[in-house]
Structures are given as structure tokens and as C-alpha cells.
Amino acid sequence: MSIHYNQVGYDSNLPKRAVLTGQGELCVILDANGHAKVCAPRLSEPAYDEASGDTVRIVDFSSLVSPGRYFLIADGEKVSIEIKARPYHDLNNALVKALYYQRCGCSLQPRYAGEFQHRACHLGRATLVKADGTLDENVLIECSGGWHDAGDYGRYVQPAAVAVSHILYAWELFPNVFNEELAIPESGNGVPDILNECRYELEWLLKMQRADGGVYHKVTTRYFAPFVMPEDDRGDILLFDVSHCSTACFAAINAQAYRVYRKYNPLLAERLLQAAKKAWLYLEKHPDFVPFRNPPNLSSGEYSDPNGEDDLFWAACELYAATNEASYLSAIKKRVDKVDVAQFGWRETAGFGALCCLFIVKDTLEPMFLSSLRDRFLKRADEIVELAQKSGYGTALAADNYIWGSILPILNNAIVMICAKLLTHLDKYQNAAQSQLDYLLGINATGYSFVTGFGEKAFRFPHHRPSYADGIDAPIPGLVSGGPNKVHPDAAAKMTIPPDTPPAKFWIDHTPTASSNEIAIYWNSPAVFVVGYFDSLAR
């Protein structure tokens, strides 16, 4: 297929584009009957796209604003496109509901999960693993709950904190698009379901805090489970020692959650805040940074982080927002020049702290400090816009950066540009951010929509154990693929993808290829932010 288009739909009031890899001959848009011409799109000059190796042309049909279904025809091919008043709302809900299907420690009942029901899993107590890989039978904790992190059944504190933060910032900045019930057990309790779902993860995080305030790094089995349903993963549940970064991220997300939940549940909010303060005190008493490393003879996700300054910056920002205490402001100023303020990943988290300063506590900060931070943030946003403009597909990712989970830096950059739009009201940022949404939904070199269940050519075979083992043909809907990855391909990818494949095409819809087709909660969560923003524009 030479026509790459947004397979979910186009907003009536936003720019509309597709990408052609053909010559663009007889490019036209016809009505739903396929007869009358309704639009002659503008067609750009051909341009070479380094990441894909394609020569592409941009098809601009922004002048077409009437809702309806149409046919885009070029080079003898035809695709169906749809223009809607609110094209992303169902997708928005599905991205959040997908996290419900990742719940651990409870059964997913047919009333809420439909055909994707399953029994409760991972209910036993977890035993601490010592640094040498042996078990400390004196430390056992009950830590059921939370979300399975990715295609495996591990649960990891840093990714959990980041995923919840993406979603809570989406809620704080675009609250009106998250009001519908999602058919989860808590629906109808007076709390928006997006917050009900995040609470399920937060309750698990609270279980991961030790009495002295330190936070355990993760809970997994000794090895990745085979491709079985979660209730059939019966390996011993293991707890991994306190880590610096997990404790800092825990402090940050609990402080952020405090301000969100105090309106709905003051007792929970206070519990979250006290846990955040306790974690911060632990870090003050144990300032030496030691990166986490897996003990020997264990192979679950390591999530090692070489630097903790960004996590401390984020935690200080959120705690300052929660308490207005000067000590946290001092901690912010101590670190602000050491961190990248435009990063929203599990390893680099300072962007969340920047959002806290730029949008939540801006009125309490010194004008010079705030102006400097804003300028740094917008400078990075300008660099991202330039990066997207150099790409034939409009993708904000360099050709050499198609890494494991390349969807994360792409969506990370979309978040930066959305926030730059909110700060400046300049359309250039929004337009470039929209190109990343288009990438997610089909305007990419593979031609796939990277969200299960959404798009004519949505990917169907994620590296996701329940989707494989449940015996159901369709995968769980609303899951986001990690996308092309030529930097760190696994053995399955190397066996199935020719080595000379360009980076933006180094992907296959194939369950064994974890390196390119796994799912993760922290790939869904930035998608919630990005899709939530564009859904908010349609209201």
C-alpha cells in the first residue's frame, strides 16, 4: 500500500494529511459512493525520508471539513477515510480501559472484561531476593494488585509511577474528556473512571513502601513466564530490594496524586502525601546513589537507571506543589540546571517536574526562575518541531533513534509540543504534535495503526501473553505497540526482518518479537495524554 493515512479518522476542524510513496498520479478524493469528486488535494513535491528510505509526497486535504466517509485515490489505489466531529473519543477511552485489562491480583469478570475475562493471578506473598540472588525468608510482604507492566507479568515501580503521571497530567490539563464510565468495577462510585483506574495502581504502589520509607524496586517471578494466562503463571513471587530511583519516583507520583485525589477522597489523599514525604525523608537519609542491578540468575526486567537527579527534581516539584514548603523549592533549584526538562520516560522523568512548575505552581515561583525554565522547555520544543519537519512522514524521531519502544520518544515529543502550544498558543507546535498522533494511527512507514482494534490495518499480534494465551482471535483492544526498533532487535526480529531494512520499517506484527511489538503501560499512558489533548479540541 502506497497510501499512508490516519486510519481512525480526521477532526473536521484540524489539518488533514496523508503520505504517498507512489507518484501521486490521479490523486483525488471522492464521495462515499465513489463517484463524485469532492476535493482535489494539494500534493507536495517529492522528498526523501532518511528513516524509511522512502520518497514521499504529502497529500493535504485540510479544505475538506464536512463530516463523512470518503475515498482517497492515488496511483490506482483507494483507501477509505473518515472525517468526524470527534474522531478520537472512543480511542481515548480504549487507551485507558486497556489498563484495566492489565490488572493483576484480581479476576477480570465478564461484566467488565467481556470475552477477555480471566481468574485472579499472583496472589501469594512476595519473598525478598538478596543481592546474591538467594532468598531472605524473613521478608515476605503481601503486594498483590497493580498493573502488569508490559507483555510480561512483572510489576515495576518506576514505570508504574511514570504511567500514572502521564495519565494524571492528562486529567489535570484536559479533564472534560475523561468523564465517561468505562465499565470497570468501580464505575458509578462518584469518581471519574480514569482516576478509579489509576487508584488501582496507586494502591499497589503503597504496598511497595518499606517501613523506613524506602520503596522496593519491583515484584516479579524469577524468570519471564511462558505464554500462559496470568493465573497460570505460578512461579514464586519475588520482591527486589529498595532502589533510589524507585523511591524518588514513588515520592513524586504520590505527591502528584495527593492534589488530584483530595477532592474525591481526602483520607486516601492524605495517605498518599504522607507516603511521599516518608520516601523523601528516606532519600535524605540515604543520599548516595546506587543504580539498581538484577541479582544473579534472575531475568525479569531490570529497569536500571544510571542517574537519579531527574527523579529527585520531579519529586521535589510535586512535593512543593503539595506542601508549599521551602525545603522542596530549594531542592528544585539545586537540580533544575542538571536535568533535561523535556523528558517524560521511565528513565528520564524531569519533564513531569517541569510541567508541575509551568502549569501547577507557576504563580508561586520567582519570575526569573519560571522564565528560564519556560525558555528551556520551548527551546527543546522548537528543536522537536524542526526534527519533525525534516521527516518525510512528519515523525519527531531521528533515523538513528528507532530504539526499543520507539513510540515512547515519539509520544514524549508530542507531549512537549502540546505543552508548548498551551504555553504559547502557536499552531506550529500543535500541528507537529498532530503528526505524531497520525504516526500512531497509520501515517508511518509500516502502514500499520499501532493501536490494537483501531484502524483498518491495526496490528493484531502483540507480544502480550494474555492476548496470545486466551484463545481469542482478536487481541485485547487499546494496546499500543512499541514500534520499529533497529537499535536493539531481539533474535526473533533478526530472524524475520531483513538486516538491510530501514529503521522506520524495522518492525513486524509478530508475537515473538518483543523488541518491536511488545506493549507497555508507559506506552499507553503518553498516548492517553496526546489523544486526550486532541479529543479536548473537539469539544
Give CA 352 to chain center in angstroms: 13
Beta-strand relationship, 68-74 and 10-11:
unpaired
Rounded Cα distance, 270 and 397, in Å:
41
Q: How far is CA 356 from the centre of its chain?
A: 18
H or E segment and range at residue 19: strand 17-20
181 neighbors 187 (Cβ within 8 angstroms): yes
DSSP 52: T
403 to 145, 240, 526: CA distances (angstroms): 30, 27, 17
Are 79 and 19 within 8 A, CB to CB? Answer: no
Catalytic residue among 49, 463, 464, 535: 463
Taking the C-alpha atoms of residue 509 and residue 481, their distance in angstroms, rounded to an integer, is 9
Active site residue 509: yes
Give every CB contact of residue 178 below 8 A, 6+ residues apart in sequence. Answer: 92, 96, 170, 171, 192, 193, 194, 532
Catalytically annotated residue among 90, 383, 470, 509: 509
Three cell numbers, residue 522: 508507559
**Residue 263: CB atoms within 10 Å:** 10
Look at the block and give the residue holding cell 522542596. Answer: 328
In the block, cell 538491510 appears at: 500
C-alpha cell at 98: 486497556
- Residue 152 known to be catalytic: yes
**115 has catalytic annotation:** no
Contact 60, 44 (CB under 8 A): yes
Active site includes 386? no
Q: Angle at CA 5, nearest 5°, toward 8 and 65?
A: 70
**Of the listed 11, 49, 152, 438, which one is catalytic?**
152
**Calculated CA dihedral for residues 145, 256, 317, 204, nearest 10 degrees:** -10
In 295-403, beta strands by DSSP E = none
**What is the Cα–Cα distance from 192 to 374, expressed in whole angstroms?**
31
In single-letter form, the type of residue at position 310 comes to D
Region of 236 (left: φ > 0; alpha: ψ -120 to 50; beta: rest) is beta
Q: Determine contact, residues 304/288, Cβ cutoff 8 Å.
A: no
Nearest CA among 381, 362, 382 for reference residue 371: 362
CA neighbor of 527 nearest in space, from 405, 361, 366, 358? 405
CB 462 within 8 A of CB 148: no
Other CB atoms closer than 10 Å to residue 121's CB: what's the count? Answer: 21
167 with 529: CB under 8 angstroms?
Answer: yes
C-alpha to C-alpha distance for 257 and 334, rounded to whole angstroms? 24
List, by residue number, the catalytic residues. 152, 463, 509, 518
